Amino acid sequence: MLAIDEATRGGTDKTCECCGNASRRTWSSITRDGVPYAVFFASCYDHGDVRESWIDVIFGTWGTPEPVDDHLTFGCRFGPVQGSDQPAATAVDAAAVAPDAPLFGQKLTRAEALAHPRLAEFWAVIDHVVAEDPLVHPHHYHGE
């Protein structure tokens, strides 16, 4: 069972570089059956009538004193899509605006992500974040 680890949750308010509107960012660890499993970063934007979130999910080893090099990052955009009145997730290049850093490990391109054996795990984390995160969920479903 996936859970957002509230003890590691953080957030910040920013200004969108493209339009000057306010944006909000949140992050947290995700546990699976109580064990550290992933980390996510979500940036929520309101571009007029378009609400979207850009979410990166990092899988790897967590909580060890030794550095590890097994981190793998997937990315998605969650928001309006053509032909649907509900927002949806679309795979994108991972952590595209973040500098390269050991935290992100291998940043997957959209094509790499769609062919990766952990793709289903990524979508499960995205589903959980969109349904349960106290910033992301209301941003899309309650107009906050």
Of the candidate ranges 18-22, 70-74, 89-93, 116-120, the one whose mean pLDDT is the lowest: 18-22
**Tokens 């050991």, residue located:** 102
DSSP state of 98: S
Residue 70 falls inside a structural domain: yes
Of the candidate ranges 16-20, 86-90, 93-97, 116-120, the one whose mean pLDDT is the lowest: 16-20
Q: How many domains does the chain have?
A: 1
pLDDT the model gives residue 23: 81
Residue 57 falls inside a structural domain: yes
Residue 143 falls inside a structural domain: no
Where in the sequence is the domain holding 32, given as residue range(s)?
2-138
User: What contacts 6, CB < 8 A, 6 or more positions away?
Assistant: 28
Residue 125 has φ and ψ, to the nearest 5°, of: -65, -45
pLDDT the model gives residue 28: 97
Q: List, for residues 28-71, the tens digit of each pLDDT value.
A: 999 999 999 999 999 998 877 788 999 999 999 988 887 788 99
DSSP state of 13: E
Place 122 in a pLDDT band, splitting at 50, 70 and 90.
very high
Give the chain's length.
144
As a whole number of angstroms, the distance between CA 84 and CA 42 comes to 22
Residue 144 falls inside a structural domain: no
As a whole number of angstroms, the distance between CA 30 and CA 19 comes to 31
As a whole number of angstroms, the distance between CA 22 and CA 14 comes to 6
CA triplet 92, 131, 26: central angle to 5 degrees? 65
120: number of Cβ within 10 Å: 8
